[in-house]
Structures are given as C-alpha cells and as structure tokens.
Amino acid sequence: MSGAGRGWGFAAPALIWTGAFFVVPFLVMGAMSLATLEGREVVWGISGENYADLWSRPYLRRAVLVSVEITLTVTAVSVLLAYPLAWIIAHRVPERWQRLALMLAILPFWTSYVVRSYAWLLVLGREEWINDALTGIGLIAEPLTLANTRFATVTGFVHFFTMLLTLTIYANLRQLSPNYARAAADLGANGFRTFAHVILPLTLPGIVTGAFLTFVLCIGDYVTPQILGGNTELTVPQVIMVQLGRRADFPLAAALAIVLMLLVSLAYLASARWLRLDRV
Amino acid sequence: MRGVAWIFLGAMFGFIYLPVAALVLFSFQGGSLPVPPFDGPSLAWYADILGDRDLMAALRHSLVVALASGAVSVALGFGAAYGLARHDLKGQAVLRGLLIAPLTVSYLIVGLGLLIVLQRLGAGLSLWTAGIGHVVINLPLCFAILYAAMGAQQENAERAARDLGAGEARVVLLVTVPMLAAPILAAFFLSVTLSWDEFIIAFLLTRFDVTLPVEIWSLLRSGLSPRLNAVGSLVFLVSVAVVLAMEILVLRRRA
C-alpha cells in the first residue's frame, strides 16, 4: 500500500511551489540583507553594515518609529470603532436584518485597494482642491502632496481595518452563547459588569487575533501611506520602495524587510497568549 | 442608550460609505476635476476609459492573471489539502506550517524576495512573474479553506468508491471534488478577488504589460481626475458582482 507515497504525490506540487517561490526567495533575501553595495554592484558576504545603518542613520530609525506609531494607532482606533459596531449589529439589529447589515458594513472592503486610498484623497483633500479650483491652478499641481498628513494615512487605514475587524468580532460575538450574559444577570451583575467581566474576556481572543492581523497588514503596507501620507514622513515600506527605485540598494531594502518581519514577530510574541490563528 | 447605539451605527455607516460616495458621485462629473460643485451627471468619463487602450489592456491582463492564478492556487491547494488530510505523511505539522507561512509575511516582502531571485537569474518581468507571486499568496488561503473542509463524510464516500473499484484519480474527481464543490468555489473566488485587487506584487514583478491596479497607480501619478473615479467605480462594481456571485453560488447552496 503506497498510501503515503500517493499523499506526497498530491501534496508535492504545492510544497514545491512554496519552496521554490517563497522559501528560496526568502532565504536569498536574508542573504542579501548581509551583502553590501559598492557603486551599483551587490557584493555578497556577511556584513552587518545594513543593520548598523538602521541605528546610525536617523532617517531609517525614524521610519521604523513612524511605522510602529502609525500601526499601533490604527490598530487601537480600529478595535475601538469596530467592537461597538459589531456589538450593535449582533445585539441591536433585528435577527433577520443582521446578515444584510453586516454585508453592507463591509461592502466597501471590496473596492480596489489603490482606489480606496484615492477616494479618501478626494474626501480629505477637498478643501485644498476648492482653493486650487478657485485660484485656477487646476490639474497640474502634484496631487500626492495634497492631503499629506499622518491623519490622512491613519484615516485611510482605520477605514479599511474597521471593516475587517467588524467582521471578525461579529463572528466572535455570535458564537458566544447568550446564556453567559443571562447567568451573569441572574447572579446580579448589571450591564456594565456583565460586559467587563464576562463578555469582554470571552471575546478577547477574537479581538487580539483581529488586532494582530491588522498589525501585520498595516505595518507592511505601502499604498496607503504613499497616497495619503505623501512624503512628509516615510514608513518602512516607503523607504524600502525608495531603496529599490532610486538607489537600487537591494541589500538595504532586504535588511529593512527583515526588520519588518522582526516587528511582526514582536507583535506575535506580545499577543501569543490570546491568539487563535487556527480559528480566524 | 438605544438612541446612542443607532446614532453610532449611522455615523459608522457614514464613515464607511463616505469615500465610496465621493468616488462614485464624481465619476459622473461633467468637468475635468473630481471636486465640488458637482456638474453632472455625465457619462463622458466612462466613455473615455472604455475607449482607453492602455486601461482596457490592463483590465484584460488583470482578468487573465486573476483567473489563471486563482485556478492554479485552488488546484495546488486542493492537492496539498487532500494529500495531508487523507494520508499520514511524516512531519504533518511542519508541512502545514510551511504551506501557511506566506500568510504571515507581508505582500511587499513576498514580492521583494521574488524580485531579488528573478534579477539574480536574469529572468525578465512579465504577467507570468506577477501570476507566480499571486499563487504564492493565495495558495495558503486555498489550502487552509480546503484542509478545514476535508471531513469524515467525504472520507467514507471515498472509501466506498475505492471498495467498488474506483482508482485514485476517479475517487478524487468523481467523489471528493463534487462533494467539496462549495469550498472549492469559495477558495477560487477569494483567490480571484485578491489577485484582481493586488497591487504591490504586481507593481514589483511586472514591467511592460501591467495589471489594472498598477495602471491605476500610474494614472494617479498624473493627477486627480474623474477618469480615476470612473475606473474605480467600475472596479468596485466588478468586485461586488464577484462577491454577490460567491454569496449566491456558495453560501446559498450550503444553507
């Protein structure tokens, strides 16, 4: 019986694909982060130069800080908006309308990612645009510099992740048996205590899982900060793209990518206690 | 208290739909700036983009890449799920971890790694390389969805088919695949929508022929314009249509 052999046969294409196009590139990128750039040539070797640069060049250190600040702000604000929204849909909206309400709440999630940031540019850049139109400058002005504030970046991100988190938290709330709340009420707890001591702890794994996904997706994103934040302060993905484009400094870009992964690992360690990645 | 809840709900819906409303409304703008005052409705910008050869080419590229990479992702994901769920392979947990791993890494890093390797190999960038990248990010999702769907019910039916003399290929094609049609379709639609919308990998791994998000990106660099609103509204319409198709085909069937 060649059962295991057959099993390997079925799994092999996926394993080979992942190995060839994910694991190998990843290892090469790791090696690249230890290489150096001389002129425009990559010199392979084992050097900590790129990582040392991260410390010594304020521009790079600042990007890491900006990325972490933006991502933490976005994660916190998104959870604080999504939780009550999911709760209202799960507990205030009548049963037969819930599916529709949830679908409507996450429908713009399906707008094109690039277009969604552009749409926020329309909304947030409106005042400047009215001014532009009035002063007759018109279309020539660089649009990417119009709404360039951290506020714009955070707003664009929060919009996206609030929808994502509403979906995960709603699923979490619905899985919760109403008996818990009833039992707490029978034992004399008021609405607030029931929430703080029963509902919140029970839904915490769902919140943390959603927040972790938010962190991972947010810190690695290039589009939203580039369109909405402009070039006033750069995030790590923006700096990576600058290295790739203008300077062709692949070793430094690779080192920055490794730093992004380390930040995600830190977030994972910080939230591992409550994470339920198998139940997303 | 109840009133506060409804006000919050209304405010959140306002927040969620504000950019979409601005996008769609000003796609019908008559003038050349997507800003108030609204002077439409006009379909001029839709006519403009439908006649734009670059945009239409990018749209075709996106469709081809999305459908092809979706099909490959589902096929590979199904094979891996079947192999791991039905056969006792050594190092199951490690293999599962390996297959899921790309999910934990941001798209930018997946694209950057592939770009570095392709450059080392001297391979040219094309829609093919973007498609390869899209399979890398969609394969873990397809695998996870289909692995979770492999249940004892199908296993019994598979065993019965085998007892009746069906070979492995017939068992898979005539028993497992039809029984898992709903999750297979769900995984396919999910992969197609994610690839259709994906920007950074396509941006890094294509050169002359580009996908729609990359083309939109280069349009964005030349200024705000109702053309972008019209393209964006059309893309939104397509995505919503795919989501509704999934809802009707997959979720209705399950209910």
Burial of A271 (0-12, 13-18, 19+ CB in 10 A): middle
Rounded mean pLDDT, A227-236: 86
Pure H helices in chain B: 2-25, 44-50, 53-86, 92-100, 107-121, 127-149, 152-163, 168-171, 177-179, 181-197, 200-205, 212-221, 226-246, 252-254
Interface membership of B199 toward A (CB under 8 Å): yes
Q: How confident is the model at residue A277 (pLDDT cuts 50, 70, 90)?
A: low
Question: Contact at 8 Å (CB) between A112 and B228?
Answer: no
Domains in chain B: boundaries:
39-254
Beta strand segments in A23-85, E: 36-38, 41-43
DSSP H or E stretch at residue A154: helix A150-175
Cis peptide before B37 (omega within 30 of 0): yes
Question: Contact at 8 Å (CB) between B77 and B146?
Answer: yes
ipTM, 2 dp: 0.85
Catalogue all structural domains in chain A, each as residue range(s) with its CATH number: 60-279 (1.10.3720.10)
What pLDDT is attached to residue A215?
92
Interface membership of B53 toward A (CB under 8 Å): no
In CATH terms, the superfamily for domain B39-254 is: MetI-like (1.10.3720.10)
Question: What pLDDT digit, counting tens, does each position of B63-84 carry?
Answer: 999 999 999 999 999 999 998 8
Residue reference for tokens 């039916």: B157
Q: What are phi and psi of A43, to 5 degrees?
A: -105, 115
Nearest to B140 by CA among B202, B93, B181, B187: B187
Burial of A68 (0-12, 13-18, 19+ CB in 10 A): middle
Give the whole-angstrom CA distance, residue B236 versus residue B248.
18
Contacts of B45 in chain A (CB under 8 A): none
Cα–Cα distances in angstroms (integers) from residue A199 to residues A113, A206, A274, in the given order: 34, 12, 15
Question: Contact at 8 Å (CB) between A118 and B232?
Answer: yes
Question: What pLDDT digit, counting tens, does each position of B144-169 carry?
Answer: 999 988 877 888 888 888 888 888 88
- Asked if B20 and A110 come within 8 Å (Cβ–Cβ), the reply is no
- Asked if A84 and B8 come within 8 Å (Cβ–Cβ), the reply is yes
Rounded mean pLDDT, A183-203: 82
The three-state secondary structure class of A226 is: helix
Mutate which: A77, A110, A153, vs B, most B CBs within 10 A: A110
- Contact pairs from chain A to chain B, CB under 8 Å: 248
Nearest to B250 by CA among B137, B99, B149, B140: B149
What pLDDT is attached to residue A142?
45
B249 to chain A nearest CA, in Å? 16
The three-state secondary structure class of A91 is: helix
